[in-house]
Structure 1
Amino acid sequence: MKRILLIEDDREVARLLELELKEAGFQVEWAKNGMEGLIRHREKKPDLVVLDLGLPDLDGAEVARRIRATDDTPILVLTAQDAVDRKVSLLSGGADDYLVKPFHPAELLARIQVQLRHREGSEVFAVGELELYPKRRQVFFRGQEVRLSPKEFDLLQLLMSRPGRVFPRLEIEERVWGRPLGRESNVLDVHVANLRAKLREAGAYGYLRTVRGLGYALRPGRGEEG
């Protein structure tokens, strides 16, 4: 389920948009001002932001600029201003698209779907017959999807980013969990075991290798897993 962050100070408008978005199958987070929107964006990591320009604290264009400074989340701006120079300014400042009020909910949903398709893109990591799509967060082996937990996906993406390279445990912990897990922790071992089991079930036997005393690597073929 795609996550939409709705930044809108008008409670009634927000309620109506939230109902439309949820009816269309989206998960919706609502922020009633710019600062709250920036916090929710950082915490929730939405797939797309619907941003009203007329916010009570920060100008919507400034909110878009700050979001764009940190990542490439698509931003769809809602504005009452139809001036060409204002539209150009919005697009130059980080917005991906805009809708002029009033608008029909069906047009909003169509614009959202276009931006989400653009975001999915075609980037893919491939090792042998194993394929990983970072933006879509999907993994396939021989065309069949392999369903992973968020951390299993992050772990596999790290290993597939450098096929054949042995990643030490500490580096994996810091890059996937953001910190060392400690010598007594078996969290990484459990995730490796679960990921290996899911790859085996899909037919990708021997891809995830344990290099004893060093760490883990992702290589194609049916070599020893360790």
Structure 2
Amino acid sequence: MSAQRILIVEDEPSIADNIVFALKTEGFAPHWCRTGAEALSACQTDPPALVLLDVGLPDISGFDLCRQLRQHSAVPIIFLTARDSEIDKVVGLEIGGDDYVVKPFSPRELTARVRARLRNFTPAANPVALRLALDEQRHSARLDEVELNLTRYEFRLLAVLHGAPGRVYSRDQLLEMIWTDPSAAFDRTVDTHIKTLRQKLKAAGERVNPIRTHRGLGYSYDPQGL
């Protein structure tokens, strides 16, 4: 049986080295990332069994990274931080964290917490591809047997993304392709429609999130979800 992969998101090399050593000693397969961007890429390429997440990262708050991960993953997340205030702990747990370890910490205690979280975690069944049907002439969309009741722009947005799975479209590209008068719209117009589109897909019974956000780039469609 292969070792469980643990993702360490920590910008301090000395701390990361200690964690890597402790995890390897306990039979895990640690993978270290210095930034949130590296962590997101690592999660998409090879999803870990658990994430050890520092709150104070150089490019993004660990809390914000947790929110992004929780959009598509139930992987256990243990926060690592020097912040020991009650409010920080409450925020970390309320946004989807599973545990909170304050620095400095014992590597043995940390690996014990990792084992405990993995022992209590039951991964969800593998999601199936969405059975989405689009009718271009009627501007209608159905997820399985459920009508999505999309607005004109929501339908156009879904049709463009769905028509080229995996392709990343910038907000400007989507404005030009979809909106009647792109100059009268704003970048946030796209974000707002993406949000309501996701909500309608979820309400119709989708178990995965097929619309992927690419930070700083735009959006793409993944029929297998995230």
Please report the TM-score for the alignment, with normalisation by the length of structure 2.
0.53
- The match for 1:107 is 109
- Give the gaps of 5 or more residues in structure 2: 129-164, 166-226
1:22 aligned onto 2:24: yes
CA deviation string 1:168-215 (max 9, x = no partner):
xxxxxxxxxx9xxxxxxxxxxxxxxxxxxxxxxxxxxxxxxxxxxxxx
Alignment of 1:14-53 (within 5 A): 14-53=16-55
- The match for 1:66 is 68
The alpha-carbon deviation at position 15 of structure 1 amounts to: 1.2
Greater RCO (Cα-Cα under 8 Å, separation 6 or more): 2
- Give the gaps of 5 or more residues in structure 1: 124-133, 135-153, 159-177, 179-226
> How far, CA to CA, are the matches of 1:2 and 1:72 in structure 2?
16
Please report the TM-score for the alignment, with normalisation by the length of structure 1.
0.53
> How far, CA to CA, are the matches of 2:114 and 2:75 in structure 1?
12
The alpha-carbon deviation at position 100 of structure 1 amounts to: 0.6
- The match for 1:3 is 5
> How far, CA to CA, are the matches of 2:16 and 2:102 in structure 1?
16
RMSD value over aligned CA atoms?
Answer: 2.2
CA deviation string 1:85-115 (max 9, x = no partner):
1100000111110101111111101111111
Name the count of aligned residue pairs.
128
1:91 aligned onto 2:81: no
> How far, CA to CA, are the matches of 1:107 and 1:67 in structure 2?
25
State percent identity of aligned pairs: 39
**Residue type matched to 1:40 in 2?**
A
- The match for 2:176 is none
> How far, CA to CA, are the matches of 1:54 and 1:110 in structure 2?
23
**Residue type matched to 2:92 in 1?**
L
CA deviation string 1:145-190 (max 9, x = no partner):
xxxxxxxxx8xx98xxxxxxxxxxxxxxxxxxx9xxxxxxxxxxxx
**Residue type matched to 1:65 in 2?**
R
**Residue type matched to 1:17 in 2?**
I
> How far, CA to CA, are the matches of 1:46 and 1:111 in structure 2?
16
> How far, CA to CA, are the matches of 2:113 and 2:19 in structure 1?
14
User: Greater CA radius of gyration, 1 or 2?
Assistant: 1
> How far, CA to CA, are the matches of 2:44 and 2:67 in structure 1?
14
The alpha-carbon deviation at position 120 of structure 1 amounts to: 3.3
